Every structure is written in structure tokens, then in C-alpha cells.
Amino acid sequence: MTKPRNLYPDTTLFVTCCCVHNSYRLVPTPDVRRAFSYAFAVVSSRYRSKWEMAFHEFEVLSTHYHLVLYDRFGRVTDFIQDLNSMVARVLNSARGASGRFFDGEPGIQTVIGDERVVEHCVYTLANAVAAGIVHKTAHWKGFNSLRMAYGREYVIKKPRIGIWSGKGRHKTRREVRRSGRADFAGRSKLPKTAVLRLDRPRVYSELSDAELRAKVRAKLATRESELRTASPGPVIGMKSALKIHWSTTPPPGKELFGRNPTFSTQTVAQRVRMKRVRRAFLRAYRFALERWNARESNVIFPPGTVKIRLRHRALTEPIPLELLLAG
């Protein structure tokens, strides 16, 4: 059993989602790029308007994707579920595949500190370089936010692939016609176009949008140079990366299960405080869960509880993160 998450409203988060078994299901073919960019535009627009989420940086690699976002109301797990579900359905349909697409436990870290937020933005964009695939992020053909400007809107067309192709081949099956489902084949409530927007992180308020974007890109160039110096040898290259079949899994010996940190801080003092918050949360959660499983009424879970609060409407203590860190 995995440990419960403690996520709080009004925080910046660093998200990592891996494909099942670290397989190459997101290798950046044209269909994958179009499907992911449209799905991300649809779901991010929905959560921006309904839950005031903001999306600061993202990059999709062949085996996983990274995302830096601001979560106003603590709905990040719902967002990940909706995005991953849409991507999985359309790509599985296009490939004639089925089953799990993404790993069931995404990595979600609470990021504290202006410089730490920028570092995670740079880490996100530099991931293809760190993986030894390309020398520069600009050479990576996967879906990312490198060339996007804060606040600018980009229109993404709905791709005609998979379940969005309009062909509806299943409607010819006898059982589908008999049940009446054939009448709905090929229909979709999704819009023909969706708006993709990159939001400015809530850091360095003294800098303009253009200055902050330039700062992130300058730090990215420095990081790319450091990575090239550390590994001066040849890289895989885009041609070789695109030849990997989507069902390929890593060779034996590659670590599939490692640490899954829950927070990322800028100072030692912040790290100590967050460790105390985490330990206190786990103690309070276990106690509340025991009472919940015993069918006690009016059980109150600690602040930051996610799954039971969203799925079962369990009560939680309304204590914001700022008060916890001040203790």
C-alpha cells in the first residue's frame, strides 16, 4: 500500500507521470504530439477556468512527462487523471491497443521558494538533454513549452486519429447496432479547437513577464552547457529516438521503483519544516483512517488529505500550509 499524499491548496507543484513499466508509449511521433497537445489544451483550459489552475512549464519525453503548475484548490490529482485518461484512450485506440497506459502513482512535489520553482522549470525543459537524447532542448521534437511566451494563447486543432478519427468502425458490429450504441458512433463533445496557454509562475514579482521568461531560458542554456560538459560523448539523436517502438520497455537492471519525494524546498529550514509537516500528517492520517474503517462518525482527516476527501467527501481540518510552516 502506498503512503497517502498530503497536498495543499494555493501551492506550486512539480508533477512527473511515467508510462506503465517505463515503456515508450509517448515516443514523439506526429500522432503522439498532436494527441497530447490537444488533450493538454482541452484539460488545462477546463481546470484553469473551473479551478483557477495555472501551468508554468511542461515537457513530454518518450517514457514520461514533467509539468510545473499552480494548484489553487488542491485538484491536481483530478487534473492528472483527466489528462492521462484522454491521452490513453486516443493513443490506445489509434494503435489498436488496450490496458493501462500510465503508471498509477504519479510523482507530485510541493515546491517552495522562488528560485526552487525556476529550477524545476529548467529541469523540466532540460530533461531530454539530461537523458542523453539531444544536445539542446530546441532539438527535441516532443511536446514542450520552450518556445511559448507567458500569457499568449495558442490554438490547437483536434487531430483526426483514434477515437477522434470519425470512422467509428465498431458501429458495424451486430451487438452494437442491436443495443443502439451505433447511433452515437463517431460523435464527440470535444471542441474542434482548444486554446493552449502558458502561465507565468508566481515568483520574482519585480521582473516583467519577458524578463522572467528570459531568466528561465538563460538558466536552461547554462544547464544544457553543464550537461554537455559532464557527458561530452554522442547523444542518441532524434532519428534513433523516433525509431523506438512504443511498446518497448527498459532493459533489465534499470531501476523502475525509486524514491518519490513529496516536497522540494529552497532552504534547509524549509526542508526541516516540511519533514515535520509530513511526519505529523502521516501520524494523524493513520489515526483518522483507523476510525474511518471502524465506521466511526464525524472523522476528521488532517489538512492535505486528497483521495478520501475527493472521492468520499471526508471532512478535513481547514488549516492552510502557511500556518503549518510557521510552527
| Residue-level pLDDT at 168 | 59
pLDDT of residue 240: 96
Low-confidence ranges of the chain (pLDDT < 70): 1, 167-177, 179-188, 252-259, 319-327
> What pLDDT does 324 receive?
46
DSSP reduced 3-state for 146: coil
Smallest CA-to-CA distance from 20 within 103, 97, 88, 80 is with 103
Residue type, 10: D
How high is the pLDDT of residue 183?
61
Q: Do residues 324 and 284 lie in contact, with contact meaning Cβ atoms separated by under 8 Å? A: no
Residue 200: closest CA among 16, 69, 67, 13: 69
The three grid cell numbers given for residue 119, joined into one nine-digit string: 529550477
Buried b or exposed e, range 41-60, using 16+ CB within 10 angstroms: bbbbbebbeebebbbbbbbb
pLDDT value, residue 327 = 39
Contacts of 232 (CB under 8 A, 6+ apart): none
pLDDT value of residue 181: 58
3 state SS of 192: coil
pLDDT reported for residue 326: 42
Query: How far, in Å, CA of 277 to CA of 27, rounded?
Result: 38
Query: Which SS3 state, helix, strand or coil, does residue 287 take?
Result: helix
Q: What is the pLDDT of residue 233?
A: 84
Provide the grid cell at 231. 557527458
- What are the pLDDT digits (tens) for 111-142? 999 999 999 999 999 999 999 999 999 999 99
DSSP per-residue codes, 10-52: SEEEEEEEEBGGG--TT---HHHHHHHHHHHHHHHHHHHHHH-
Query: What's the CA gap between 183 and 204, in Å, rounded?
Result: 54
Q: 247-263, pLDDT tens digit by residue?
A: 999 876 555 455 678 88
